Amino acid sequence: MDIPSISDTLAEYTANAQANATSTGNSALGDLADTYDNFLTLLTKQLQNQDPLSPMDTAQFTQQLVAFSSVEQQIQSNKRLEQLINLQSSTNAYAAVSFIGTDVAIDSDKIMLQDSKAKFSYELDKTASRATLQIYDKNNQVVMIMEADRTVGEHAALWDGTDYFGNKLADGEYRVAVSYEDSQGKKYSAPITSYGTVDSAEIVDGAVYLNIGSIRAPLDKIRQITKATADA
């Protein structure tokens, strides 16, 4: 049976160490140390028993030794990255608390009816020949239809929670859609901005989400944050 050369054996050890380098912590470094100790033992034995007329190629296993060092540095970098991620998560936790009780504007067509009031806005970038605003309940059923403003710009709206029959609807989550047509009959959908007060916040996979009732919004959907004010 052929005995593998020291360079071939070291190459195998290095490949295994690199494959495990994506893991972090002391376990990865421990695995690397064990592999390195095994290599040194094997190297010592082969040096003691090598053929003087055909010595080992020192350049090749020296390159593998350098690779070991690179793997160790990679493991250390992964540990530092994990520490930075944990630190960022802690920072996000403090940030999440500071948002509770603030008024926010969110890029979302979902609105929260609270105390029979829901504030939102929609924006037209073209003058419309006709414009319709529709409000849907959680079952995607239309509960209100009304004419929307047809002029260019952002238009504020305040819904009192009544349907098109004048009935008061229960507080909760609804959805708004504004569609309009230009003078040529081309149809468009207006972007909606929802307003509300943050009543809770949560962190998922290191990211902060703000909650307005059942509406959950990531920070990149927040357009504006202001200090909550009492109703006049």
> Does pTM surpass 0.75?
no
Give 193-216 pLDDT, tens digit per residue: 999 999 988 877 777 889 999 999
How do the domains of the chain map onto residue ranges? 6-99, 102-227
142: confidence class by pLDDT, cuts 50, 70, 90 = very high
Give 72-81 pLDDT, tens digit per residue: 677 677 767 7
Domain 102-227 has CATH 2.60.40.4070: yes
pLDDT of residue 3: 47
Distance CA 33, CA 155 (A): 66
* DSSP string over 6-75: HHHHHHHHHHHHHHTTTS-SHHHHHHHHHHHHHHHHHHHHHHHT--TTS---HHHHHHHHHHHHHHHHHH
